Amino acid sequence: MTSRPVNIKATLDSFSDLWSPRIVAQFNDYDVRVAKFHGEYIWHAHHDTDELFIVISGRLVIHLREADAERSVTLEQGDTYVVPRGTEHKPVADDEAHILMVEPTGTLTVGDTHEEVPDYVDATTGHRVV
Amino acid sequence: MTSRPVNIKATLDSFSDLWSPRIVAQFNDYDVRVAKFHGEYIWHAHHDTDELFIVISGRLVIHLREADAERSVTLEQGDTYVVPRGTEHKPVADDEAHILMVEPTGTLTVGDTHEEVPDYVDATTGHRVV
C-alpha cells in the first residue's frame, strides 16, 4: 500500500457512495480515508482517539456537544479541524462535500457510542482502494 | 489548537521560508505540518516512524534507497504517499511545491540520520502557527 502514490481526486472520482470512506494510505497504525458527505450524519463519539478532518472540497458543518453545551464549527475547503476524543459530534453537509480523515486503523466510522445507524450510513472501518 | 479550523492555504500564504514546516493541527500524538519545498532536500531517514506526504500543489519527487537499490517516485497534486520507517529518502522539487505531512509530534525534519545539514534547511520539529 505504501509503494506507489494514490491520488485523492482520482479515488473520489471512483465511487459515489455517501458516508463510506475509502482508505488511500496507511502509515504507522493510522489510516488516511476519503469520503463523500451529503446530508446529516449521526451523533457519535470516539472514546479513545481524536479525529482529524480536512475538507478537500465543499463545506462541512460539525456539530459538537461539549461540557453540556452544543456548538458547531463550519469548515471550508482546505480547512483542518480536530474533534477531540470523547466529544460527541455530528457532521452535516448541505451540499456534497469531500472529506479526508486521519484516524487509527480499525476506527469505526460510527464511533464507540452513537445514535441508531440508519440505512444510508456505512458502519465500517473503511474500504481499501489499493 | 483543536478548537477552531486552520486553513491550509491561508497558512501557506503566511510564510515564505522553504523546508520549514508549520504545524496546522495536532491530533493524538501526531502533527499535521505544511511546508514549501523548492530545490533539493537532504538524504535522511526516520528510524521509528513512517512519514505521510500529501501534495497540496506542485510536483514532488522523492528519491528512495531501498534494499541497496535507488528509485524515485513522482507525486502530483493530490497524491498521497508514505515513506516507510527506516527508508532513506530525499525530496526534490524543481519548482516550488506545497506539501502536507503527518508524523508523530517531535519528529525532526532531518530525521534520525542524515547528510550534513546545509544552511537553507531548517532542522526543526515544526513551527506552531496557532
CATH superfamily of A8-128: Jelly Rolls (2.60.120.10)
* Partners of residue A60 on adjacent β-strands: A75
- Which positions in chain B touch A74 (Cβ < 8 Å)? 5
- pLDDT tens for each residue of A34-47: 999 999 999 999 99
Of B27, B82, B85, Cβ closest to residue A82: B27
- pLDDT tens for each residue of B1-12: 447 899 999 999
Phi, psi of B12 (to 5 degrees): -65, -35
Confidence grade of residue A130 (pLDDT, cut at 50, 70, 90): low
- Which positions in chain A touch B74 (Cβ < 8 Å)? 5
* Rounded-to-integer distance, Cα B61 and Cα B63, Å: 6
Give me Rg for the CA atoms of chain B: 14
Mapped onto helix, strand or coil, the DSSP state of residue B91 is: strand
